[in-house]
Structure 1
């Protein structure tokens, strides 16, 4: 049985002719019943609203409909595996994330006091430092699917096409509790005052803001960006939590490498501090990839070579790769010119 507050909201919306509230409440009831595995009841509710005559207040979202099927073309579903406890996060970011999860898990208590849990999060930081991983960890903690929006299928060349597809994605997300993740959010949330942008992107941003406002609180929408300066000012106000994920310090990177090695039961033969010092300023993703390379070599050599030797070999390769990247970007040349 749906919660009493949802039933009361449904009756009030029907009496007052409030179609917006009616729609959101029906969505919430359907999502809650599906979350309890009451799929038959959820299907019945949707069928009743769908088949009601023209005097009905709304047409409820239909997950099995053609529109919802098309919405799936713009979403990739990821099975959450990363756990929050495994992540290395700034203290304030970790605290805010745990509060968000608690609010979502105890949403009924908040609603009994006429409050809703926070559910709109903006992650800001350079690439490779955990934005996608944090979204996955939040989904894992809440035991809900992680839906990643795919821009390559959504952004169209015709007038109004992108905004229409975006609307479909949000309508589909309302059908069940989930984490809806927008990576590279500046692709769709650009500053509308930018004179170089077309009227189409301005319509997309306006539609995006309206859809975010109308999302029920059981849908946690997480947006990530490497370029926060490009976001529309109104976008910032939509997010209740704005969490930084900066590049790691050497101490944080050392802890991260040590933690990964311990979980993999990998004897590095070299201290984690020495490794991170040799790697230089890298992201968590790059450090993880380095450790994975070592694991591959350890497995393939089947214990015939000491792990310390493998680590030193991989560090040599890493240094050569880093030097090649600098030469490719002209960093060394410009550095040399400045000192001559």
Structure 2
């Protein structure tokens, strides 16, 4: 059964003759039914929607609006898995709670509750915010959309807010994870006297759109500069997680997991590698491991993994030394 608010919106749109709202509401119901694997019902609703005279007249406009909205997002196939990430214990627990709530949304709705679907990730760059958003999409088996600021942010009055509205309208039509990286670019503090009135209007519109999202659309926002976010932004997000820079122990765990995936022993202990790498981010740890994979692939099976790891460590130390010198 579709959610009560969608049914109310459906009746109101039909009574008022608002064909655009009617189509949007039915599309949201179809998306929700497909998420529940009720594909027969979803197909029947889709056929009914296409046969509706009012909707047929606006079908081209709706398709055109959807196409424009997709110009402002990148759709990627989620590859990261939650099991592949090294996360703080409480952070992982909160994510698994979110996944369970989304997967068992029907049970929650039978108790007049909705699953949480708004997540804010903060922390220094390169420590897994984007990877975590992608892993949530993979775990939920939904589409992963990344908002493109280069396409969304415009120079004319009201242009940015209008484009963001199209993004949210499209995200409402399908279960997905909608990811805002560098969220402070559009969610800045409105009390900043150095900002123009336009960014304040954008933030106000953004917050209203976030509030209006249905619970089957999971919105994840990430920021390296939490201090720049508007105070009202924090209240909108039900789950707020800090992803700090990894400790040496966590890098050891990362290297241990990497070594277990290789076909031969690395020959160097994970703790030795972690100590040699020094204080790095997860992104840098991943790049180090990818460097080993590249050399191993190019050796055509003749390379010794221990020698390659040792060689890459030497190169890494030289890189760190040069960086310090600069």
TM-score, normalization by structure 1: 0.86
Aligned to 1:78: 76
Measured in 2, the distance between the counterparts of 1:312 and 1:204 equals 51
Deviation of the 1:307 alpha carbon: 2.3
The aligned residue for residue 257 of structure 1 is 255
1:147-188 CA-to-partner distances (Å, cap 9, x unmatched) read 111111111111110000000000000011100000111111
- CA shift in 2, pair 1:312/1:136, >3 Å: same
CA change 1:190–1:4 in 2 (3 A) is closer
- In the alignment, the residues of structure 2 paired with residue 14 and residue 138 of structure 1 have an alpha-carbon distance, to the nearest angstrom, of 33
Q: In structure 2, the residue corresponding to 1:181 is in which secondary structure?
A: strand
Query: What is the match of residue 42 of structure 1?
Result: 46
Distance 1:68 1:7, change over 3 A: closer
Q: What is the DSSP-based 3-state SS (H/G/I as helix, E as strand, rest coil) of the residue aligned with 1:81?
A: coil
> How far, CA to CA, are the matches of 1:305 and 1:11 in structure 2?
64
| Structure 1 residue 78, shift from structure 2 partner | 1.1
Aligned twin of 1:28 = 28
> Retained in 2: the 8 A contact 1:148–1:180?
yes
Partners of 1:285 and 1:5 in 2: CA distance: 43
Which residue among 287, 290, 297 is the counterpart of 2:288? Answer: 290
Q: What are the superposed Cα offsets for residues 122-154 of structure 1, whole Å, 9 maximum, x if unpaired?
A: 011111111111111111111101111111111
Structure 1 residues 29, 277: closer, same or farther in 2, change over 3 A? same
Relative distance call for 1:152 and 1:308 in structure 2 (3 A) is same
Contact 2:10/2:25, CA 8 A, preserved across alignment: no
Q: Deviations over 1:231-286 (max 9, x none)?
A: 00000100000011111110011001110221233521211111110110101111
Unaligned runs of 5+ in 2: none
The answer to whether the 8 Å contact 2:145/2:179 transfers is yes
What corresponds to 2:201 in structure 1?
203
Query: Separation in 1 of the partners of 2:139 and 2:126?
Result: 21
Give the structure 2 partner of residue 221 of structure 1. 219
Q: 1:24 and 1:247 mapped to 2: Cα distance?
A: 42
Q: Alignment length, in residue pairs? A: 320
Backbone CA RMSD of aligned residues: 2.7
Q: Pick closer, same or farther for the CA change 1:8–1:146 going to 2, 3 Å.
A: closer
Aligned to 1:51, which of 23, 31, 55? 55
Select which of 280, 291, 300 maps to 2:278.
Answer: 280
Matches of 1:192 and 1:176, distance apart in 2: 31
* Contact 1:63-1:172 at 8 Å conserved across structures: no
1:34 is displaced (CA, Å) by 4.4
Once the two structures are superposed, the pairs formed by residues 123-202 of structure 1 within 5 Å of their partners are: 123-202=121-200
Output the CA distance in 1 between the equivalents of 2:206 and 2:285: 35
Shift of 1:288: 1.2
In structure 2, distance between residues paired with 1:229 and 1:262: 39
| Residue from 305, 308, 316 that aligns with 2:306 | 308
CA distance in 2, matches of 1:304, 1:4: 60
